[in-house]
A = this chain, B = another copy of it.
Amino acid sequence: MALRVGVIGGGQLARMMIAPAVELGIDIRVLAEDEGMSAQLAATAVGDYRDLDTVRRFAADVDVITFDHEHVPQEVLRALVADGVAVHPGPDALRFAQDKLDMRARLADLGAPQPDWARVADAVELQIFLDAHGGRGVVKTPRGGYDGKGVRVVSAAEEAADWFSALAAGDALLVEELVPFVRELAQQVARRPNGESVSYPVVETVQKGGVCAEVIAPAPGVDAEHLAEAARIGREIAEGLGVTGMLAVELFQTEDGRILVNELAMRPHNSGHWSQDGAVTGQFEQHLRAVADLPLGETTPHEAWSVMINILGGPADAGMLDRVPAALAASPQAKVHTYGKAPRPGRKVGHVNASGSDLDAVLAEARAAAAAFA
């Protein structure tokens, strides 16, 4: 009898849990949104993750529930917990990944370093914040945003007028100061229900158009102090929010050398994909170990440098079939990961990892392979 882990959501994160699940002997089962999703091979149910009956039926046959995304409603999560299901991360943690206002308030309680922010219920409140922060700010819808959606840089309150008018009564938007950052970092932490946690080295993430394009592990030029500080911030948030499984903390590094928390993700995250091939324990294996309350694995990198480059789908009329061989030919060292998705422009359809002792050479390898998909 194998340990049964149920994953809600059939996207690429669920897909990439399949490989380590097979090796660890975990019976992985996926509740997919539809037929033919990325995690199809492990899909044992298809249905709406917002529907309690659907989720309950799926959860009845597994030992642990975890997630491909953070969108399962609180009422569904809490019903599972009330049923006695092990849910990791649980609703009390996930709410901070589901609502950016709740997250900012909780991080403030924890004393975590973050940008100035405010809860703004109307244009007047927003304008007051903007005026106090050099006339500009980042407005965010608290819920449902991802990959740059639901995020808008504004220099006047009326630029968020449509979002305000769409708000339900009693709701509000989040506004944050526009942080003068020199680069973005991300810290991965894994935490078990028993509190054991491990950290990965902080990485640099390079965004293009609001989407993560490249990740360099560890972040180049990061000193021992920042390395330790990022790890400490990650551990304190994981502990403070009661996260179980993988936690990704997206960070800003400011011109004056501070590290501020940007966003949280309570699942394997794009910024941790490098670890699949670049570390002793990849984040998908680590996530499974953490949610199944198994001892965590070493996070040491294999090489001095690892690079991850996302593959954004090119023209829809060309499939992946011809591009994978071209990528493998371009770099015998690169590790190609595909998501089983039909390419279309701008869609993440896979990624490439490479590792080695010379960062420029590793970047060249990874880029050569990724270029085959352009």
Contacts and interface: CB of A to CB of B under 8 A. Distances in A.
A79 interface: no
Interface residues of A, number: 44
Interface stretch (A120-128, A139-147, A322-330): A322-330
B289 A328 contact: yes
A297 B365 CA distance: 13
A79 to B, nearest CB: 27
A320 B25 contact: yes
The 3 A-B residue pairs whose C-beta atoms are closest, nearest first, are: A25-B338, A19-B19, A295-B329
A73 interface: no
B295 A24 contact: no
Interface in A300-346: 300, 302-303, 319-321, 324-325, 328-329, 332-333, 335-340
A303 B303 CA distance: 9
Contact of A22 (B41, B289, B328): B41
Contacts of A23: 16, 19, 276, 335-338
A42 interface: yes
Interface of A: 1-3, 15-16, 18-20, 22-25, 41-42, 276-277, 280-281, 289, 294-298, 300, 302-303, 319-321, 324-325, 328-329, 332-333, 335-340, 350, 355
A42 to B, nearest CB: 7
A281 B289 CA distance: 24
A363 B294 CA distance: 23
In the complex, the count of this chain's copies comes to: 2
B289 A25 contact: no
A320 B19 contact: no
Nearest to A328: B295
A64 to B, nearest CB: 13
26 contacts: A2-B320, A2-B340, A3-B321, A16-B22, A18-B19, A18-B41, A19-B19, A19-B20, A19-B23, A23-B276, A25-B320, A25-B336, A25-B340, A41-B41, A41-B42, A280-B333, A280-B355, A281-B332, A289-B328, A294-B324, A295-B325, A295-B329, A295-B332, A296-B332, A298-B332, A300-B333
Nearest to A319: B1
Given A2-B320, A41-B42, A295-B328, A25 B333 contact: no
Contacts of A294: 324-325, 328
A339 B25 CA distance: 7
Nearest to A38: B22
A319 B2 CA distance: 9
A108 B71 CA distance: 65
A355 B24 CA distance: 18
B25 A350 contact: yes
Contact of A297 (B20, B297, B333): B333
A36 B300 CA distance: 35
Contacts of A20: 19
